[in-house]
Amino acid sequence: MHSTATPPVTATHCPYCALQCGMDLAAGPGGGVEVRERAGFPVNRGALCGKGRTAPAVLSSRVRLTEPLVRDRATGRLAAATWEEALDRIAGELSRTRAAHGADACGVFGGGGLTNEKAYALGKFARVVLGTSQIDYNGRFCMSSAAAAGQRAFGLDRGLPFPLEDIPRTGCVILVGSNLAETMPPALRYLTELRENGGTLIVVDPRRTRTAEHADLHLAPRPGTDLALALGLLHLIVAEGRTDEEFIAERTSGWEEARAAAMAHWPEHVERITGVPVPQLRDAARLFCDAKASMVLTARGPEQQSKGTDTVGAWINLCLATGRAGRPLSGYGCLTGQGNGQGGREHGQKADQLPGYRKLTDPAARAHVAKVWGVDPESLPGPGRSAYELLDALGGDVKSLLLMGSNPVVSAPRAGHVEERLRSLDFLAVADVVLSETAELADVVLPVTQWAEETGTVTNLEGRVLLRRRAVSAPAGVRSDLEVLHGLAARLGHAKGFPAEPEEVFEELRRASAGGPADYSGISYARLAENEGEGLFWPCGSEGGLGGEGEPRGAGDLGGEGGLGGEGGPGCEGDFAHAAPHPGTRRLFLDRFATEDGRARFVPVVHRAAAEEPDAEYPVLLTTGRVLAQYQSGAQTRRVDELNSAAPGPFVELHPRLAARLRIAEGEPVAVVSRRGRAVAPARVTSSIRSDTVFMPFHWPGEGRANSLTHPALDPVSRMPEFKVCAVRLEPLRPS
């Protein structure tokens, strides 16, 4: 008689992008697990893209690491080793590096896919155990420009200061440099519902992407000119008398300077810079202002530029000048890319930050975190290098590197140079799920658990903190990153302070974040379990201070930097018990901004050229991005057969006019050459891209590696590299 018992189901979240879509995992009919729809989770309402549906494929021992690998000093080859051998080798090499060259000769590089617990522990390990300032993570390449601009304008950065559910209820959305239909497919429904509700969608992208096909108005600026476009729209709004003077007077500062800067960008001048016709500029300004509520959402397009902070700042100025910020159904938001890109930078693996989004240079912040850690504040190192600067220093000042959850051989700008720097290290240790291109260069490779094999928290693009539960057991030879840090810390003289249990780490994270801008002290595993279908939005403090919607509560407990207008209330539970748990803050800034005076700050910005403009030798612009079936460096998705069938390799997208001029045919191999490197991929001829621009996805290594070409010029504020624009030439490769 066959059993009719229902197999156990684990409610969890997709391991890929920052939507963190809800899904259920259940035992599969042939063993392993299968993904089932979880319709009740509000972010995706059951919808999943191909990457989410096939995520369990990477759990297979056929494609992932299952035992430590150590490079044999005699043969130079990676060979299987015991965990004791691997951890002893790492600890010994780090100790030798510190003894010979000082603490800052040891580097640590993290990832935006690490859970909050792992990001927190990694930052603590770097600063307490190694004593190094040289720590950063690949999230620097994601939304650091938007974060910097948000901090300047609002006093706080949270990807979206409102939930996704608000998007269909606004009147107009300007979506800048985002191809949601391919990068976050379940989120496209919010734009579809916006239009079904009578709202307007404006898409800004040099390509007519699948997302742009849904737009009421598509603006196709020349890559690197988004800043001029935003300033041109603000000029028109000022000239036509469509600013919200009451909002500007009551809730902002710095308007006159920002206004004067914008007025230097008149429409005809902006058309010459961007290639966007003046009538389209006027249409965009009209649609944005005619709506009762409007939003601007940015992504990597405007952010991954050497002027990304100013570019995002110009779009924020547009929102502030029209009263489209700090009000219901209006505002500026950033569409975070990586799975835990938001939480990953809030709790200490970024070069200049301590847990709770505290500044490493703030004496009060250092004292608070040092007390939680049980160390002298003076022992904590200062800010270190940003991600690219750290990678560039490898083999020079930085002799040894511990890397977790990142693949810079494929994902970093000027990737050929970064690969050379990694090879020049005295010692490289990598902890990862798969043998990535970066792991292949390591002296020690540690196989670690992944999303379905471990419990931990992540924070999605809305600031929604979620509990991701373990659904299956990891293979016998695999350990968690927390176990790795626990073992290394013990070998380096810190037997206590680095627990391997995620809930124990999270309890310490709560204390470290308490009172900081990203306050998680009112969040616990118990509360997240109770709110499994929803999660909790930060700030969620242990005691009051966040003004509720229509219910201001004063400055609050944000380290003396002023409170946040938004939904919320006092209290939490557990170690911070109060009468009523804080409900979390779904919407920020409704009463006041997170600045000292509660006012948003205009920042005057002016357009400037990209770090590298086309010339006679390199006459074409290159921009890069993603495709639907692959994710980031492709280290995991390239191991899934179904995804590889859909997107088997790189390509070069170019306009028919450019193809005709260079005599390049569809499918023909073409070399794309920049001052930094060369990539080869088949041509894809399409009229959906500007004729002065080519596009390459960046998911593949080898000769098709797009980041062999990209420019490492850095934004002066965010230190974001200029992935989105550089000068190249095309060379057809015809058979002899």
Three-state SS string over 474-492 comes to: CCCCCECHHHHHHHHHHHC
Neighbours of 641 (CB within 10 A): 10
Distance CA 417, CA 391 (A): 9
Dihedral sign of CA atoms 441, 444, 447, 450 in order: negative
All structural domains of the chain: 9-59 (2.20.25.90), 69-142+340-513 (3.40.50.740), 144-334 (3.40.228.10), 620-732 (2.40.40.20)
Q: What are phi and psi of 431, to 5 degrees?
A: -110, 120
Which H/E stretch holds residue 34?
strand 33-37
pLDDT under 70: residue ranges of the chain: 1-7, 543-579, 735-736
Q: Decide: 215 and 685 in contact? Cβ < 8 Å.
A: no
Distance CA 431, CA 535 (A): 29
Q: Decide: 635 and 334 in contact? Cβ < 8 Å.
A: no
Neighbours of 338 (CB within 10 A): 26
According to the model, what pLDDT value does residue 735 have? 62
Neighbours of 110 (CB within 10 A): 29
Distance CA 406, CA 111 (A): 5
Neighbours of 606 (CB within 10 A): 15
Over the stretch 60-117, which tens digit does the pLDDT of each residue have?
999 999 999 999 999 999 999 999 999 999 999 999 999 999 999 999 999 999 999 9
Q: Which of 536, 552, 556 is nearest to 544 (CA)?
A: 556
Which residue has 């090879």 as its token pair?
A: 423
Q: pTM score, two decimals?
A: 0.93
Q: Which of 604, 81, 674 is nearest to 416 (CA)?
A: 674
Starting at the edge strand found earlier in the chain, the sheet holding 536-537 runs: 456-459, 464-468, 536-537
HSE-up of residue 480 (Cα within 13 Å, Cβ side)? 23
Q: Decide: 521 and 511 in contact? Cβ < 8 Å.
A: yes
Helices 267-274 and 278-290: crossing angle in degrees, nearest 10, is 110
Q: CB within 8 A of 287, min separation 6: which ones? A: 172, 200, 202, 216, 217
Distance CA 551, CA 379 (A): 42
How many angstroms from the chain centroid is the CA of residue 83?
A: 32
Residue type at position 657: R
Q: What is the dihedral of CA 416, 420, 425, 428, to 10 degrees?
A: 40
Peptide bond into 539 cis (omega under 30): yes
293: its two tokens = 């509520």
Distance CA 676, CA 86 (A): 36
Distance CA 495, CA 482 (A): 13
Q: Decide: 26 and 7 in contact? Cβ < 8 Å.
A: yes
How many residues appear in the chain? 736
Q: Which of 56, 145, 78 is nearest to 718 (CA)?
A: 145
Q: Decide: 595 and 154 in contact? Cβ < 8 Å.
A: yes
How many angstroms from the chain centroid is the CA of residue 528?
A: 23
Distance CA 54, CA 14 (A): 10
User: How does DSSP classify residue 678?
Assistant: E
Distance CA 393, CA 376 (A): 28
**CA–CA distances in Å: residue 96 to residues 129, 130, 384, 439:** 14, 12, 21, 22
* 3-state DSSP assignment of residue 551: strand
Q: Which of 390, 336, 295 is nearest to 104 (CA)?
A: 390
The end-to-end CA distance of the chain, in Å, is 68
Distance CA 668, CA 393 (A): 38
Pairing of strands 200-204, 172-176: parallel
Distance CA 144, CA 48 (A): 27
Pairing of strands 252-253, 600-601: parallel
Distance CA 347, CA 364 (A): 16
Distance CA 312, CA 680 (A): 33
Neighbours of 202 (CB within 10 A): 23
Q: Decide: 425 and 401 in contact? Cβ < 8 Å.
A: yes
Distance CA 666, CA 671 (A): 14
**CA–CA distances in Å: residue 473 to residues 317, 512, 637:** 49, 30, 21
Q: CB within 8 A of 231, min separation 6: which ones? A: 261, 262, 264, 265, 270, 314, 605, 606, 607
DSSP string, 394-432: BTTTB-EEEEES--HHHHSSSHHHHHHHHHT-SEEEEEE
